[in-house]
Structure formats: structure tokens, C-alpha cells
Structure 1
Amino acid sequence: MYGAVVSTERVTPSIVRVVLGGEGLAEFAMPAATDAYVNLAIAPPGAPYDAVFDPRQVREEQPREWWPARRRYTVRAWDPASRQLTLDFVVHGDEGVAGPWAARAVAGDVLVFEGPGSGYAPDPDADWHLFVGDESALPAIAASLEGVRPGRPVVVRLVCDDAAHEIPLSTPGQLDLRWLHRRGAADPGRLLLDAVAALALPAGRPDAFVHGEADEIRGLRRHLLLDRGLERSAMSCSPYWRRTMTDEAWRQVKADFVASMDADLG
């Protein structure tokens, strides 16, 4: 499957929004999830194959140096009427693969992907919701907030560089939102953990979505499960990336890191 770039927008200094459309999305069907995702296949510069390609065929026929980079991105929005797909990319200069692609994208560029798949949607029977994360989790959190049942308490703690990196968020629920800024913080890596530890959690059964930087998520998971007594079944929790590691290096160790988080629980 593929989409052609319809438009791009610099939403914040570090987020580029790309809207895709065209005949390559004719078979796209959104799952019943707010954290739906697509698996991008981004060809290296100068790749000896067409802009629209089959990732599996490329891996079978081309040497490794021409294989497309694979990245998973949350669907920020899908408009079934216009058949347009919106993806938000975190961009840190020339670092990584997908971010630089989004920063350079212009109308007509093609993005190949597989999916969509799905992982999470707000539990309609939960008494309250907790969303915690950083820029990498922001598309999923923003989409999920829109799917909360009206009137349900929704606690959101998000970390970003500074106020220029904040975006408007809305929900039918009762929103308790606080942005935390790395810039000027004594220990930016503890901002989310300290903010969640300071919360007086609402009563009743929770539904938690906790995603972002690996070491931060590890500490949050331990705190919520051991110190706050949340059930694992009530939490969607995943480390999306790890500070000081490239995307490729993180992909190679992520499975072991996730497995090791269980050792924290004794």
C-alpha cells in the first residue's frame, strides 16, 4: 500500500504533519483502535527500484544496502470521505530516517507502507484514564483522547522541550492536562515519573497508556504497577525509543529490554 503526499505542515518545531492521499489508499481500512499504526518502508537515496515497490520483493531481490528502512508510525487521523491519511513525524534535524524524509517531503512524493495494524483503544468501561508520554507518543495520545467516553476523568502528563512544542489537545472527557518542559529542568529524565508520583489518582478502575523513551517508561511502569497497584491488564505500556541510541540500534535490543522490565517487578 502507498500514499502520495498531499500536504505537509510544521505543527511544532519538532513535529511535521504529512497528509497522504491518492489511489494507493483505495484499500485502506481503519481498525477499531485509536493507536492504529502503519509500518513504513523508506527506500535509501538512489535505490534502484520504483517509488512504489513491494518491500518483501525488494528484500528478496536486492542486496541489503538497498533494503528500505522500516519504521512504525501511529495513524494520527484517517478521513474516510476524502480517503486521506495523516501521520505526525518527530524531526530532529538529519537524525534518523523517517523524520528527515518528512522534513523534505513535498506534494507528490510517495510513501510505501504496510498495515494498518492496531494495539490500543480507550477502555469504554474504565472509570478514568491516564495518558503519559513524550513527542513520540503524542499522535497516539491525541487520537486516543478523542475516543474517551464523555465525562470520564482523563489525566494527561506530557513532556516536551518547551512551550513552543505544545499542541492543542481535546477530549470528550474531563481533561486534567499538564505539560512538562525539559528545557531548564534539573533532571529532564525524571519529569514524567515525578509528575505521576505526585498525582492523587481518581477513584475506580483505571485505563493507562504509557509510552515514550525507554528508561523513562521503565521507571513509570514499575511505579504504577508496584507503588500504585495498577493491574498489568489495565495498562498499555511500551518503550518507543531510547536516549543515546539510534533507531536501528534500539530495534536490535528492544525485545530484550522489554523482557528485562519484568525483572524490575521482582
Structure 2
Amino acid sequence: MHGRVVRRQELTPSTVRIVLGGGDLDGLVMPDATDAYVNAAFPPVAASYAEVFEPGVVRESCPREEWPARRRYTVRSWDPAALELTLDFVVHADEGVASRWATNARAGDVLVFEGPGSGYRPSPDAAWHLLLGDESALPAIAASLEALRPGDRAVVRIVCDGPDHEIPLESRGDVDLAWLHRHGDERDESLLLAAVEALDFAAPGLAAGPPFGFVHGEADEIRGVRRHLLSERGLSRQDLSCSPYWRRTMTDEAWRQIKREYVAAMEADAAGV
């Protein structure tokens, strides 16, 4: 599938919102989920094929150096009436193919993608919701908060670079939200874990039962939080949706090369609990 850039907005110094329309979005079927994602395909500058292409066909017919780079992005919102798909991109200087594309995107530019897929929506049966992550998890966290019903309880902790990197979040639920600002040093690695360790799961409003946790973001941070929730808080793997989106000190490509092995090691952690 593909869409064309309709609007581009800089939400924060590190977050760019891209709204896609046109293309063949009239055939998009969005799952009933708040973590719906698309697999975007970014062709190299010198690609010999057209701007609208089938990724599978390119892989079969073109040399490897012309294959598009693949990146997964959470859908921030889908407007079925306007046929507009909104994606938020975390950008860092000019690093990474997706970051460069979002930084330089202009009206009419094409984005080819496959999907969407999904796996999570806040369960109405959960006693309460624990939503943890950083800027990369914000689209899913924001969509999840918007899906809560009046009276639903959520505790949200989000790591970001500072006050100007915070974005407004809306919800009909009862939300305890705290932004955790990075220091720019080794303390950043434990910000999220320390915030979760400080939570009182027996506090009024939370003591009704265990939460369902949505824990997504930087790999080592997510791994530490997951281990804590399983071993110290007594949650089961069925109580958690966890995914390491990126890893500190690694490029997108380097992370993609080891991600499967890393996730397997995370599962081994859980097996030992």
C-alpha cells in the first residue's frame, strides 16, 4: 500500500507528525487496536524503480543494494472518513533512513508500507493499566489513553529529553501521568525502572488487582522493567505487552541485526522467574 504526504508537523524538537492521504488508502483495513503498526519501506536514493513499488517484487527482481530499508511505525491515528493515516516519527539529527525521510518529507511525497498489524488494546477486564515507554512508544500510549473509558485507571510513565519534548495526552480515564526527563548521562538508563520500582501497587485505586502492562521503548530499559514486573511484582507474561523498539548506542540497522536474539534472551529471563 502507499499514501502521499498531506501534512507535516513538528510536534517537538524530536518528533515529526506525517499525515498521509490518497494513494490506495481507500483499501486500508485498520485493526481494532491501539498499537496498530505499518512496515514502511524506504528505497535508496539511486533506486531504479518507481516511487510506488511492491517491496516483495523489488526484493525478487533487484540487487540487494536497491532493496528498501524496512522500519516499523505505530499508527497514531486513522481517519476512515478523510482516508488519512497519521504516523509520528522520532527524529535525531539526520540519522537513519526513516529519520531523514521524515525530516525532509514534503507534500506529495510517497510512503510505501505493508500492514497494518497489531497486538494490543487496553482490556476492559484489566484492574488497571500500566503504560511505560519513551518517545518511540508515545503513539501507542496516546492511542491507548484515548481508548480508555470513564473510570478506567492508568498509570503512565514516559521518558523524554525535557519539557519541550512532552506532548498533550487526552483520556476519559483516570490517569496518573509523569514525564521522566533525561539527564544526558548514565542515569538515563535507570529512569524508567526507578519510576516503576517507586510505584505503590497497593495504593487506593490500584489494589483491586494486577495491572496489564504495556512496556515499550529502549531495549535495555524495557528488559529491566520487564524483569522487575515479573520477578518483584508477580505479574505473568500474559499480563504484559513488551517490545524493545531500539537500543542505546546502536544504529537502526545494527539493532535490527540482533533484535531477534535479544528478544530471545528476554524470554529466557522470564523463563528463569
TM-score after normalising by structure 2: 0.95
Equivalent-residue separation in structure 1 for 2:165 and 2:254 (angstroms): 27
Structure 1 residue runs without a partner (length 5+): none
User: Residues of 2 paired with 1:234 and 1:205: CA distance?
Assistant: 8
* Alignment counterpart, residue 244 of structure 2, candidates 227, 239, 255: 239
SS of residue in 1 equivalent to 2:147: coil
Distance 1:39 1:153, change over 3 A: same
Query: Which aligned runs of 4 or more in structure 1 are off by greater than 4 angstroms?
Result: none
Instruction: Using the TM superposition, give the Cα deviation of residue 264 of structure 1 relative to its aligned residue in structure 2, in angstroms.
Output: 2.7
Question: Are the counterparts in 2 of residues 4 and 24 from structure 1 also a CA contact under 8 Å?
Answer: no
Using the aligned pairs only, state the percent identity: 67
2: CA distance, partners of 1:2 / 1:44: 17
Q: Using the alignment, how far apart are the partners of 1:243 and 1:184 within structure 2?
A: 12
Farther off after superposition, 186-195 or 207-216: 186-195
Alignment of 1:11-26 (within 5 A): 11-26=11-26
Q: Which amino acid aligns with 1:132?
A: L
**Pairs aligned (count):** 266
2: distance between equivalents of 1:186 and 1:218? 16
Match of 1:214 among 214, 219, 224: 219
Cα 1:23/1:261, change in 2 over 3 Å: closer
**1:15-54 C-alpha deviation (Å, 9 max, x unpaired):** 0000000032110011011100000011111211100001
Match of 1:61 in 2: 61
* Structure 2 segments unaligned to the other structure (5+ residues): none
Partner of 1:150: 150
Counterpart CA distance in 1 for 2:86 and 2:139 is 10
The alignment's C-alpha RMSD in Å is: 1.1
One-letter identity of the residue aligned with 1:134 = D
Matched position secondary structure for 1:180: strand
In the other structure, the counterpart of 2:72 is 72
1:262 matches 2:267 = yes
Rounded to whole Å, the distance in 2 between the matches of 1:162 and 1:155 is 20
Query: What is the CA–CA distance in structure 2 between the aligned matches of 1:15 and 1:232, rounded to whole Å?
Result: 31
Taking structure 1 as the reference length, what is the TM-score of the superposition? 0.98
Partner residue of 2:32? 32
Q: Is the 8 A contact 1:9 1:16 kept in 2?
A: yes
Where does residue 103 of structure 1 map in the other structure?
Answer: 103
Residues 34-49 of structure 1: pairs in structure 2 closer than 5 A? 34-49=34-49
User: How far apart in 2 are the matches of 1:184 and 1:46?
Assistant: 37
Alpha-carbon contact 1:14-1:92 (below 8 Å) kept: yes
Amino acid at match of 1:243: R
Structure 1 position 184, deviation (Å):
6.1
